[in-house]
Amino acid sequence: MTASDKRCDLVLGGGGVRGVAHIGALTALEERGYQAVRAAGASAGAIAGAFAIAGVDGATLRELFEALDLRGFITADVLERLRSRRGVGRLVERFGTEAVDPLAWIEEILDEHGVRTFGDLRVPDADHTAPPERRYRLVVRCLDVLQRRVVRLPWDYERYDLDPDAQPVAQAVRASMSIPFVYDPVRIGNRDTGRQGLLIDGGLATGFPVTVLDRRDGQPPRWPTFGVRLLSRPRGDQDVPDGGLALARMIVDAMLDANDLLEPTTTCDERRTVRVDLSGVNAFDLDVGEEHDLFADGYAAMASFLEDFDFADYVETCRPSP
């Protein structure tokens, strides 16, 4: 593969604050000449994937996240709910953290790069009669708790009587990161027609397999797909939770971790999956920057992976021509 044709697809796992490691991984890809054609992701992976497909370069991504008040970003909906309660608002003000609206933040960055709706992310050479999964450069995963099913946006918008091209990308990404008890769920669809849903974090269900963007016509891939999993090893220093809220948070945290600990199902999936070992870092660790350099972890994992990856050998072994 020459420098001029180093295209790739990306499948990015979730992981809460661990998602900063995706920036390091994307930067390593960029420095080695790769350009992302399509991306699939949930939660933190949806954020990173959307920015990568929109054309936000690694250096800019790092600057954006270093300037971001992560505590205000993670607790935005919690702070707003507390401020609305009589007698609690003043205590919240004393907390000293200003809410950072995730939707507005994502919208602003995408808008600066000319991306508003999924119509802006159509695959250039896709035929208008092609199925939804072949028309768009980005797909994000959500869980519809009202309809009790996994939703892949923009592929599944038609289930809600919505035109995929007209739907805001930022809203889909925001829905995909709606961790229960942290972010409010996102409503979708039309209540009058009965085709409505309530979307939460797609990482709470089984995450995207690395095969999600593979060709279905039996032909070998034109470029590689790289899966990135952010792994947090079990921590043995945690106490039994004291109270229902603490237990609920631990359950959600465990579900997010369990999703990204799922192993690729085949040896060929293994060969194109990058594992970023973030031992001891959990999805809600707001002080992680003081002890871990997540950017460096993601960068090192991807750089090491690319040293040994041989696309031609992968195709010959795993996806040969019929």
Residue 180 contacts residue 16 (beta carbons within 8 Å): no
Tell me the pTM: 0.85
Amino acid at 133: E
Q: Per-residue DSSP letters for 175-207?
A: HHT--TTTS--EEEEETTTTEEEEEEEGGGSPP
Rounded CA gap, 14 and 22, in Å?
A: 9
Q: Which residue, chain included where needed, has tokens 């072994």?
A: 317
pLDDT of residue 281: 74
Beta strands in the chain (DSSP E): 7-12, 35-41, 138-144, 149-153, 186-190, 195-201, 225-231, 273-277
* pLDDT attached to residue 217: 85
Q: Are 276 and 299 in contact (CB under 8 A)?
A: no
CB 322 within 8 A of CB 219: yes
Cα–Cα distance for residue pair 157/121, rounded to 1 Å: 15
Q: For residues 81 and 99, is the Cβ–Cβ distance under 8 A? A: no
Residue pair 198/144 in contact by the 8 Å Cβ criterion: yes
Tokens standing for 236?
């043995």
Contact criterion met (CB below 8 Å) for 114 and 120: yes
Cβ(77)–Cβ(137) below 8 Å = no
Integer Cα distance of 37 and 138 in angstroms: 9
What letter represents residue 164's amino acid?
Answer: P
* Per-residue pLDDT tens digits of the chain, which is 322 residues long: 444 469 999 999 887 778 889 999 999 999 999 999 999 999 889 999 999 999 999 999 999 988 887 777 777 666 565 555 554 444 445 455 577 888 999 999 999 999 999 999 999 876 666 777 889 999 999 999 999 899 999 999 999 999 999 999 999 999 998 877 778 889 999 877 778 999 988 776 666 789 999 988 888 999 999 999 887 655 555 666 665 556 666 666 666 555 555 556 789 999 999 999 887 776 666 665 555 688 999 999 999 999 999 999 999 999 988 7
DSSP character string of 234-268: PPTTPPPP-SHHHHHHHHHHHHHHHHHTPPPSSHH
Cα gap 99→77, rounded to integer Å: 8
What is the Cα–Cα distance from 162 to 189, expressed in whole angstroms? 7
pLDDT value, residue 245: 57
Buried b (16+ CB within 10 A) or exposed e, 45-54: bbbbbbbbbb
